[in-house]
Amino acid sequence: MIGLLYRAADALRRRALRDDHGRIGEDLAHRYLRRQGCTIVARNYRPPYGGVEIDLVAWHGRTLVFVEVKTRASADFGTPDRAVDREKRTYVERAARDYARRAGVDWEKTRFDIVGVILEEAPRIEWIRNAWRKS
């Protein structure tokens, strides 16, 4: 029954946010991570000084995970995770350090993941844990 409700909500969301692939992808990634046992504690976190935002912040067991969500309409031009370059990683790490400091979480208990979403008829979601090493 709940699956039917989710499918109906997805159809409505896709119609309402037809041109906002990023938002649709974040919604799907959020739900996917919850089903995998993560507890989402923040969405679209932006540090007070500005800069890049972190799409999702979640607890996965005892690890605080900073998640970059990348969404594509198709895989014609490669997988979504390829869009997270060195510069993006640097900015995300800077914002993540701020979040961890404010939350009182030891930096060693954090990691960076990427969730790639391809919006096909049945969306494909790939969760890449430890997508890059912390600097």
CATH class of domain segment(s) 19-128: alpha beta
User: Considering the entire predicted model, what is its pTM?
Assistant: 0.84
Contacts of the segment 54-60: beta carbons below 8 A, 24+ positions apart: 54/92, 54/95, 54/96, 54/99, 55/26, 55/29, 56/26, 56/29, 56/30, 56/115, 57/99, 58/33, 60/33, 60/36
Give phi and psi for 127, each to the nearest 5. Answer: -105, 115
d(CA 72, CA 33): 18
Q: What is the pLDDT of residues 88-99, one digit of tens each?
A: 999 999 999 999
In the chain, domain spans = 19-128
CB 113 within 8 A of CB 128: yes
In order along its 135 residues, the chain shows pLDDT tens digits of 666 666 666 656 555 545 567 889 999 999 999 999 999 999 999 999 888 899 999 999 999 999 999 999 888 888 888 889 999 999 999 999 999 999 999 999 999 999 999 998 889 999 999 999 887
d(CA 37, CA 26): 17
